[in-house]
Amino acid sequence: MCIRGYLQENRVRYEAMLHRPESTASRRAHSVHVPGDQVAKSVLVRADGRFVLAVLPSTHRVDLERLGGVLGAGWVRLATEDELAGIFVDCERGAIPPFGRLYGLETVVDASLAAWAEIVVEANLRHEDLRLRYRDFEAIESPLRARFARPIAPRRVRPMGRRAG
């Protein structure tokens, strides 16, 4: 299903944001000129044999151990590319919208996203994001809200050595 259609059916107002397809959610944030922790990324995981959609800020990564505790799962792993393609059949490869309910998935959202009045989420296409109110997202998705994400450590820049001479 088209994510825009889903939002319209649920009377959720949104703003479409078109940009170049990017390889990471952090780069998507840069492309749409929005702080990275306001841009949501979706990660499909497999927890004790069931698929769960984890939604978190683009500046963070999933802590699988912590997420396992939240879900009451003995083991959690990231989904494979083939598993993603088999579930998100109406999406461009690499695009994962945060609306697990549309795909028969349980959704868990990192509590840090709730601090924002608006969030930016991915639609069905890698070059389209949607800005919507967080409370609208939570109202139509009814996700489990928990803390399971950890900030991605910034890359350290190696200082350039001085040349003798």
Q: Of residues 29 and 69, which shows the higher confidence score?
A: 69
- What is the identity of the amino acid at 102? L
34 pLDDT above the threshold of 90:
no
Q: Is the pLDDT of residue 80 over 70?
A: yes
In the predicted structure, residue 47 carries a pLDDT above the cut 90 = yes
Structural domain count, the chain:
1
Mean pLDDT of 133-148: 97
Within a domain: 73: yes
Say which DSSP state 111 is in: G
pLDDT surpassing 70 at residue 20? no
Q: Is residue 28 part of a domain?
A: yes
What CATH number is given to the structural domain containing 111?
3.90.960.10
Tell me, yes or no, whether 86 lies in a domain. Answer: yes
Indicate the SS3 state at residue 9. helix
Helix H or strand E encompassing 135? helix 134-141
CA–CA separation, 104 vs 13, rounded Å? 23
Q: What is the mean pLDDT of residues 7-13?
A: 95
Q: What is the pLDDT of residue 81?
A: 94
Residue 2 binned pLDDT confidence (cut-offs 50, 70, 90):
confident
Give the whole-angstrom CA distance, residue 72 versus residue 47. 9
Mean pLDDT of 83-107: 94
Q: Which residues fall within 8 angstroms of residue 6, CB to CB, at 6 or more apart?
A: 99, 102, 140
Domain membership of residue 67 as a residue range: 3-141
Q: Residue 105 falls within a domain, yes or no?
A: yes
- Name every residue whose Cβ is closer than 8 Å to that of residue 111 and which is 6 or more positions away in sequence: 145, 146, 147
Q: Identify which has the larger pLDDT, 12 or 124.
A: 12
| 158 falls within a domain | no
Percent with pLDDT over 90 in the chain: 67
Average pLDDT for 90-115? 94
Q: Does residue 148 belong to any structural domain of this protein?
A: no
Q: Is 35 helix (H, G, I), strand (E, B) or coil?
A: coil
Q: What is the pLDDT of residue 124?
A: 86
For residues 129-146, give the mean pLDDT. 96
